[in-house]
Structure 1
């Protein structure tokens, strides 16, 4: 049975984001966009990444699937994220996160989480435990600073 560590995606700046390299570490996977009302969540994601660095891996997955809110090139996305939010967590190339063109990772997340776990907008968040299993998902309305997300991260970090 597949787990999150079985996937890889092209990295935003070249190379590959290989989830196998984080085996045993919890992950927070987020579909992102630069021109969205939820874009300021990059700030909270970066804060979470800094605070939990070495314990929790935050992975941004840019997508243009919702409202064409990520129209730029990889260089545009990287510049925007770094300049405006100081993003230093791993980012993948822009990819599809819904529908028949969705990357295998997001097809797996949707299958694991069920119908309502499918991203319906930018900044859906997926919490993966140390075994590579989806433990919970959060809609765009749940910011990275939300206590229910932070509490779930704390619980996953305590698991063996």
Structure 2
């Protein structure tokens, strides 16, 4: 994490407190493997994930209204949403957005769909459901600027997912 993450987390904490909203926090430990060659399941990957989770917990989110997960440890209800996003994204859009080359690993162009999935209520119906009406909630995504390319792609396919 970096200081650029602080503002989105402060805003998110405010929204959770003011509106009683549920929060889903994705720890993208697989991104570190695909983009930075940090071995998946290794000590360094676990250490980075645990440190990120501790930093996030320090913002004081409500424990009963917050679900934090690591991509390498949980897919659960998220897989169907990941598949729908993958089907809507084009390889050329992903390659152009992230300046990917044909010589890179296939995890790189596949990763944006995993990053995007938690933006949709259907990825976590047991967390993001309005209890009184049994309907899925829409999501607000607050993120640091370095994550904008992922969510640019997400916005482009959102209405079709």
Task: State the TM-score bracket (shorter-chain normalisation).
Answer: 0.3 to 0.5
Normalised to the residue count of structure 2, the TM-score between the two structures is 0.41
Normalised to the residue count of structure 1, the TM-score between the two structures is 0.41
When you count strand as a share of all residues, which structure comes out higher?
1
